[in-house]
């Protein structure tokens, strides 16, 4: 990815503050992968969209999944709400939960931390152990395990959880 940026310039800076470097199968990608970093100190790539404070890097081991992944990321990054939620995320679980909404086969678990009082009801009622309490707030650590039974949503005494399909 670094060599590609050196050769082609700052093509990966796709929006103000956001870079999306990626590699294709012919670049040596062995398995599908993604990494995201929020930079404390932004970096200049030499783009009119500098400085970059969010870098989402990914690799795909087949051409079709490479194009699909790019498309899904681009669609999400066009939504101002998604970008703002990404900027405000304070832990990896919140970021993972945001991206789980990108995959059409997964549900999106939304936890409104203004309403969550850390009672732990969601932790107790979830049959798949999706939730954990982190600093007295519920976090969906494993949204990919959700079977959409909606017990968490129905039993949350503060209506802090919303499940979107």
pLDDT tier at 103 (50, 70, 90 boundaries)? very low
pLDDT tier at 65 (50, 70, 90 boundaries)? low
CATH assignment, 91-165: 3.30.70.20
Burial, 126: exposed, middle or buried (Cβ in 10 Å; 0-12, 13-18, 19+)? buried
State in Å, rounded, how far the first CA of the chain is from the last one: 34
Per-residue pLDDT at 66: 63
Active-site annotation holds for 22:
yes
Residue 102 has pLDDT above 70, yes or no: no
pTM for the whole structure: 0.55
| % pLDDT > 70, the chain | 92
Residues of the chain with CATH 3.30.70.20: 91-165
Residue 104 has pLDDT above 90, yes or no: no
The top-level CATH class assigned to 1-88 is alpha beta
């Amino acid at each position: 990815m670094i060599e590609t940026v050196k050769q082609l310039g700052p093509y990966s800076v796709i929006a103000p503050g956001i870079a999306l470097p990626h590699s294709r199968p012919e670049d040596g990608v062995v398995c599908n992968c993604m990494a995201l970093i929020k930079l404390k100190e932004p970096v200049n790539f030499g783009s009119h969209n500098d400085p970059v404070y969010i870098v989402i890097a990914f690799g795909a081991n087949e051409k079709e999944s490479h194009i699909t992944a790019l498309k899904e990321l681009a669609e999400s990054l066009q939504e101002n709400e998604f970008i703002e939620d990404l900027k405000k995320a304070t832990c990896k679980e919140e970021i993972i939960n945001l991206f789980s909404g990108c995959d059409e086969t997964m549900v999106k678990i939304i936890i409104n931390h203004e309403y969550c009082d850390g009672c732990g009801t969601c932790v107790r009622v979830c049959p798949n152990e999706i939730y954990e309490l982190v600093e007295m707030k519920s976090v969906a650590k494993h949204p990919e395990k959700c079977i959409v039974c909606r017990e968490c949503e129905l039993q949350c005494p503060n209506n802090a959880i919303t499940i979107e399909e």
